[in-house]
Amino acid sequence: MFIYFDLGNVVLNFSHELMCRQVCAVTGTDVAKVRDLLFTQKLKERAEAGQCTRDEFYAALCEGLCAEPEAADIERAINDTFQHSGIRSLEFT
């Protein structure tokens, strides 16, 4: 049996806006620039589709934002945007 969960805003709440603000905080850039790079230029989509490695994503982000934050800070800024949606338990019959 295979069980598939759609985590983003179903099981866990997720905010792209929060993610962009957190990336801004560690890169010193503005939200519009981060949003453009991640979503308009589809860097986030390419990373999620496995079209670039973690190192390639980090390099493209640094180049696109003209910044060189610690990779761990970027990873934390992007990943610390999930919050529990309030679902307490799932029961399967």
Of 79, 76, 60, the residue nearest 8 (C-alpha):
79
Domain edges within the chain:
12-83
Q: What is the pLDDT of residues 17-31, one digit of tens each?
A: 999 999 999 999 999
CATH topology of domain 12-83: DNA polymerase; domain 1 (1.10.150)
Q: The pTM is what?
A: 0.76
Residue 91 has pLDDT above 60, yes or no: no
The pLDDT-based confidence of 39 (bands split at 50, 70, 90) is: very high
Q: Which amino acid is at 8?
A: G
Phi, psi for 83 (deg, rounded to 5): -135, 150
Of 76, 79, 77, 82, the residue nearest 13 (C-alpha):
82
